[in-house]
Every structure is written in C-alpha cells, then in structure tokens.
C-alpha cells in the first residue's frame, strides 16, 4: 500500500502546493486527493485537461454517496478529473459544511486509498492533502491507513515548535506513545520543511536533531524550496520552465529520497514508472 498523507498544524505553510509538487514528480501513477474537510483549493486554482474549469461536484463530494454503499478502490477513478498537465485529482469539498456528508466514511476512504496500489486494473499511489489537522478534524482518521504521514512546516521558531508538538501528539495517537526510533513506527511520521534553498540543509539537520531529542517519533525527510515563482507556475498563473524551478527540483529530491528508503515496500509488481515531466 502507499497512501501518503500531508498535513499541517496551523496556518498556511503550503500543504497543497507541496502535495501537487510531489504528485507531479511521483515516479509511479499517482492520484492526488484533496481530503481537507475545510474544502479544497484546486477547483479555484487549476484548469481541467479540457481547458475549462474543474467540476466541483465530481470528487470528494460525489464519492460520499458511493462510499456509503461500500467502496472498492477502483471506484475512486469514477470520481477523478485530470488537470491540464495530466495529473489525476480527486477534487476536494467546496466548503467545510459539506464535510458532514462524509461523516463516518473517513476510515472507508482511508482503506480504499491505501488499497489502490494493489488494484489489478489501475494501481496507483495516493497523495492526500489533508490540510490543517489542529482541532478535531476527521481527516486524521485516514492516518492509520497511511504508509507515511508528512507534516508540512515553515521554519519560523513558532512553526518548528508547533510541528514538534504536533508530531509528538500524533505519535501518541497512532503509535501509543513517544518513540525514539521513528523507523519502527507505522505509519511513519515525517516532517517536510518549506525553507530557503540556501540554508535548508542546515535547518533540516537542526530540526531533525530536535525531533529526535524530544522523542517525537518523527524525523525530517526533506525540504521543499520556498519558491513563490515556482508555486505560481505550478498553479498555472505564471509562465516558465516549471521543471527547472527550485520548487520542482526540491520536490524531486524529496521524492527520490523517500523512494530510496521506502520504495521497495511501496512497489507494485508490473507497474511501470510514470514520467515526471509535468
């Protein structure tokens, strides 16, 4: 299985941009699912493959009725729309009030997302954009089914302190208590820093040492470049060589590092790698 859930503790550190960037360079077929109960962003910022807008009624909103009758992983594809660059997405809810229609269905969705990699017909990994998880958000019910939970954080001191505390709380919830060796825990909790490319490596080492020392059960798995221009290109609001942007180059590095460590566990027999040149 390979469900990778992305989330943040507070604010807007760039979860959606990171999720789209990672999905754009993922080495196998991937489905990007907007699972933020507060609502998705892609319907407002991205165009569909046909050049027009995405359909806000096809995605998490439409899948609710299907899931109440049980959900086979391949049924997810019935609710997916391709973006203009080819990325396949499950569009998120329009407004937070619509999340009531998914009450009780989050574990069902989590199992379907996690099992999609084992589909005999159309296998794919799932990257889930869970948005902010502070408070009692139901999106955390996806986490027990994930192979990896990535907490996205910026590098201001208060943001680092929050991600440390959030990682520790998640470790207690998912693993039963603090752990010094995150690699022994399932799902693994990782931290991705949105950082200045000039000092991202140094910051990553410092934050990782802090996470280990605090026995949070999490560790830093990489950095994504703080690249506003690249984010604008990724959203289709600015022209340019997206594949040469700092954003996409850093996303490739994070993805390559993840696959070097965990790719064998996520491999699907017979599945050919997918191109990353979106």
pTM of the model: 0.91
Q: Which domains does the chain have, with CATH numbers?
A: 1-264 (3.40.50.300)
- Does position 182 have pLDDT exceeding 50, yes or no? no
Segment 78-89 mean pLDDT: 93
- Does position 277 have pLDDT exceeding 50, yes or no? no
| 67 membership: H or E segment, kind and range | helix 60-67
Segment 147-159 mean pLDDT: 94
Question: Where do runs of H (alpha helix) occur along 176-267?
Answer: 200-213, 228-234, 246-266
Dump pLDDT digits (tens) for 184-239.
Answer: 567 899 999 999 988 888 899 999 999 999 999 899 999 999 999 999 888 878 88
Dump pLDDT digits (tens) for 39-81.
Answer: 999 988 888 889 888 999 999 999 988 898 889 999 999 999 9
Question: Where do runs of H (alpha helix) occur along 134-175?
Answer: 157-175
């Amino acid at each position: 299985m390979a469900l990778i859930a992305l989330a943040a503790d507070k604010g807007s550190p760039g979860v959606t941009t990171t999720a789209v960037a990672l999905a754009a360079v993922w080495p196998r077929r991937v489905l990007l699912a907007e699972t933020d109960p507060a609502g998705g962003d892609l319907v407002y910022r991205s165009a569909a493959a046909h050049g027009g807008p995405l359909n806000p009624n096809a995605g998490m909103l439409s899948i609710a009725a299907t899931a109440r009758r049980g959900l086979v992983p391949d049924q997810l594809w019935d609710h997916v729309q391709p973006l203009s660059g080819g990325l396949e997405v499950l569009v998120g809810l329009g407004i937070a009030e619509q999340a009531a229609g998914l009450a009780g269905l989050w574990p069902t969705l989590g199992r379907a997302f996690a099992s999609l990699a084992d589909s005999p017909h159309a296998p794919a990994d799932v990257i889930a954009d869970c948005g902010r998880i502070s408070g009692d958000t139901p999106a955390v019910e996806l986490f027990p089914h994930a192979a990896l939970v990535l907490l996205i954080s910026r590098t201001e001191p208060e943001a680092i302190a929050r991600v440390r505390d959030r990682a520790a709380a998640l470790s207690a919830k998912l693993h039963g208590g603090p752990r010094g060796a995150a690699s022994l825990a399932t799902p693994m909790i990782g931290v991705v820093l949105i950082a200045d490319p000039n000092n991202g490596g140094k910051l990553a080492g410092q934050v990782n040492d802090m996470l280990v020392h605090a026995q949070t059960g999490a560790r830093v798995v990489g950095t994504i470049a703080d690249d506003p221009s690249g984010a604008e290109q990724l959203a289709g609001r600015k022209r340019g060589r997206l594949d040469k942007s700092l954003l996409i180059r850093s996303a490739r590095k994070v993805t390559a590092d993840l696959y070097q460590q965990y790719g064998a566990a996520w491999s699907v027999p017979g599945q050919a790698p997918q191109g990353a040149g979106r």
